[in-house]
Amino acid sequence: MTPRSGTDLPDVPLFCAAAAAQGLDLTAVLREVVESQRYVLGPCVQAFEKAFAAYVGVPYAIGVANGTDALTIALRGLGLGPGQRVLTVANAGFYSSTAIRAIGAEPVYADVDATTLNLSPAVLTEALAGPPLGAVVVTHLYGQLADMPAIAALCRAAGVPLIEDCAQAHGARRDGRLAGAWGDVGCFSFYPTKNLGALGDGGALVTADAVLAERMRALRQYGWGAKYEVVMGGGSNSRLDELQAAVLSAKLPLLDAANASRRAIAARYGAAFAHLPLQAPRAEAEDYVAHLYVVRSAQRDALRAHLTAQGIASDVHYPIADHLQPVQASACAGAHLPVTESACAQVLTLPCFPGLTDEQADRVIAAVSSFHERAMPA
């Protein structure tokens, strides 16, 4: 298993996106695309869009260049623009904020649930009672499906469009309904480290709304109706290529098994860490696909240094809340997000991916446990 690139490499890597980890040889898949001489928005993209829509359980999927483009196109497809307020969370890496700012709208930040770190329905209820919102973007953070029965019902009752950011939650489901099938539109990234990852960038939008699907399909390619006929403003050049679509089609049938493998590793960690002073995600249900295994520790930085010394990679997803980012900190000076800010100071990502061996998982467990044994008074 190859660790991440860099110097002084840890031998328990944080991510592993290689198709080989799933027993998949992509050589023939890639050769077929090259020999077809069709590279952008061809039959492979169409086939993947059909398969992915069926997997999510909606009629329409539109392949785009990346997950952030998917969010931006979703907002534009719903008619959002300058001066409108879009509610989102501030602990998810600035991705939704990037899309909201790209269309000239104003991000409005809601605090998160203290257990799941996803959008809090209680906070959403308060926000919907305030100044009008143009839309809500809900992120299924770390692969944990947000409380979609409550959130979708609240947005529906208020008449506010709901966008799902599913970039970390491919295949997460509750009562048989998958991430992406709850809101007006679902947005996915296929960055290589995602649960369903390509060999480069890629993304998709999914929806059950035929009119919205047609608008978003036009927006991904200059706003064209017919070729070279621009019928819609705000269009972009955001197209999924044939190579990535072919790879994604090959990997899609393996997604549920890969998610089960992630959950099994997460459950192994959870059982081992139950007695430690950590907050760890629950891992028993299908609404969690363990895109990232994130613990919360009051000694986060010391724990991370200890893991590094043990040759174990870790990361922080995410260290700076959106409302505190330098680009907009002054504009968001009045934001009050205590749960979000506390989480950003405590979260730590441990290795969790298909292909992580039992031996490697045990090394992670031993290192985390030895840190707390050393830190605990005798």
pLDDT of residue 3: 34
Q: What is the largest CA-CA distance in the chain?
A: 75
Architecture of the domain whose range is 21-253: 3-Layer(aba) Sandwich (3.40)
Tell me the pLDDT tens digit for each residue of 116-126: 999 999 999 99
Tens digit of pLDDT for each residue in 326-345? 999 888 888 899 999 999 99
Measured in degrees and rounded to the nearest 5, phi and psi for residue 287 equal: -80, 5
Q: Matching CATH topology for 21-253 and 254-375?
A: no
Q: Tokens for 104?
A: 């000239």
Whether 341 contacts 322, CB under 8 Å: no
Burial of 102 (0-12, 13-18, 19+ CB in 10 A): middle
pLDDT in tens, 26-58: 888 889 888 888 888 899 999 999 999 999 999
- List, for residues 188-232, the tens digit of each pLDDT value: 999 999 999 999 999 999 999 999 999 999 999 999 999 999 999
What average pLDDT does the segment 162-174 reach?
Answer: 98
Nearest residue to 22 via CA among 351, 258, 230, 194: 258
Mean pLDDT (the chain, rounded): 93
Q: Which band of pLDDT confidence, cut at 50, 70 and 90, is reported for residue 9?
A: very low
- Fold classification of 254-375 is Aspartate Aminotransferase, domain 1 (3.90.1150)
- State the pLDDT at residue 196: 97
Does residue 293 surpass a pLDDT of 80? Answer: yes
Percent of the chain with pLDDT over 70: 95
Alpha carbon of 91 to those of 170, 171, 185, 229, 314: distances in Å?
19, 22, 21, 40, 18
Residue ranges covered by each domain of the chain: 21-253, 254-375
